[in-house]
Amino acid sequence: MAKADSPDTLGALRPEMLLSLSQQRGEPSWLAAQRESAGSLSAGLDLPSPLEEAWRRTDPQLFRWDGYRAATPPASRVDALEALPGRVRDALTLEAGTAGVVVNRNGGVLLSTLDETLRARGVVFCDLATAARDHGELLRKYRFQATLGAGENVFLAMNAALATGGLFLYLPRNVVVESPLCALDYVDHDGAAVFTHVVLVAEPGSAATVIQKCASPSGVRAYVNSAAEISVGDAASLRHVLEQDWSDTTREIGTTRARVGRDATYRSLVAAFGGETVKQFLECLLEAPGGAAEMLGVLFADGTQHVDYHTLQAHQAPHTASDLLYKVALEDQARSIFAGMIRVAPGAQKTNAFQSNRNMLLNRDARADSKPELEILANDLRCTHGSALSRIEEQHLFYLMARGLTRAQATHMIVEGFFAEALDRVPMENVRGLIEQRIAEKMGAEAPLGRVTALRALLDEVGGKRP
């Protein structure tokens, strides 16, 4: 296997190039040294072998960065913000009274706001460059210290060396943020490589919701290398919503790892719709008794999209619980891979873990591979896992069409109902609405059918009159 050497378009990760990158952002010396160290590591690491189990169904060569160049952040914040599509800007105001907003475009920050009351209480919510400059010691304490290591693989090494934009959240002890904190990574630099890094820290007793959106306009060819490390302290609660809407010519390789403390709760939702080829590793480590995690996924791929999701529910202590539900709809020649692992460590008694992956194929050419697994090293627990694959049955379509719906509307209703089980577990109505709108667009509809249409169908079934 040849070394994953970096092409000239990314400056070959020369030490002087990494030092210049750090100096341009006014970073502290420790971060410059970290970049240089990660760059040296990347030169000695291979791309993963296609013989590795995690890479047997997705060619690692698809995630080479040859031909891509480092993204160029916009020179003007104001002009660049106004240039964002209206729908993208709307996604930043998901709830009334948003507590804070961070917008990155092509790896450069455009907007960073935070409620002054929260700022006075010690909350930090900003892009990575600002965090390194203004909150260096906090960032140093948590970045790549306990969750992700630059030496794990070449992709994380490259991310550590070239990270720009990104996001840093720090919640002090016992601080509860009632309104959501919203972030956007937008890439519209054609041929660009973007390395985003997210660090979310919830100290003991704190709570917050982070809504993160990643998007690029249609036709933009980009390479995205993303990493997220999340720390949820004892008795803390953190909800992380990630909506991914890359263009159909964007590729992404990413890793998210969350550590959950004693009596803490971590809830995640991944809503993924875009990308030419996307491979994500999503891991949750339950490290102390009483820790709990909910991991939800809503994935919809069409055309020739290829999406590959690996999840890990790692129960490392007794009396922990996790619940994973990933739902996937596929259309045209799209392909999905789901590989989920529940791992129970020795001594992690009284574990309660669930894992379910359900796939809906909307035509004959779509394909879904599902591989749920258990690795159990304790004997007093409850663990269940499973996967299912289904197609839309003609009799179901006929049933709905006989009640006044077109075939397209009937198909759309079935798909909406398929995803409802996961979306009903998300308490934020506007978040659900945006996801349902994106599902409708995937189905070629202008708007979601919604529950009113379902109610009308039900009334027809029992012979009632339509309202």
Higher pLDDT, 11 or 255: 255
DSSP letter for each residue of 285-354: EE-STT-EEEEEEEEEE-TT-EEEEEEEEEE-SSS-EEEEEEEEEE-TT-EEEEEEEEEE-TT-TTEEEE
**Cβ contact 304:275 at 8 Å:** no
pLDDT in tens, 142-168: 887 656 676 788 999 999 988 888 999
Average of per-residue pLDDT values in the chain: 87
pLDDT at 1 over 50: no
pLDDT at 75 over 70: no
382, burial (CB in 10 Å: exposed 0-12, middle 13-18, buried 19+):
exposed
Q: Which pLDDT does position 8 carry in this prediction?
A: 40
| Average pLDDT over every residue of 226-251 | 96
pLDDT at 90 over 50: yes
Q: Which pLDDT does position 95 carry in this prediction?
A: 45
- What share of the chain has pLDDT > 70, as a percent? 86
Q: Which pLDDT does position 37 carry in this prediction?
A: 87
Stated as kind and residue range, the H or E segment containing 30 is helix 29-43
pLDDT at 67 over 70: yes
pLDDT in tens, 418-461: 999 999 999 998 899 889 999 999 988 766 766 444 544 444 44
- What share of the chain has pLDDT > 90, as a percent? 64
Phi, psi (5° rounding) for residue 22? -70, -40
pLDDT in tens, 372-383: 999 999 999 999
pLDDT in tens, 203-222: 999 999 999 999 999 999 99
| Average pLDDT over every residue of 372-396 | 92
- Least confident among 52-56, 65-69, 131-135, 217-221: 65-69
Q: Amino acid letter at 328?
A: V
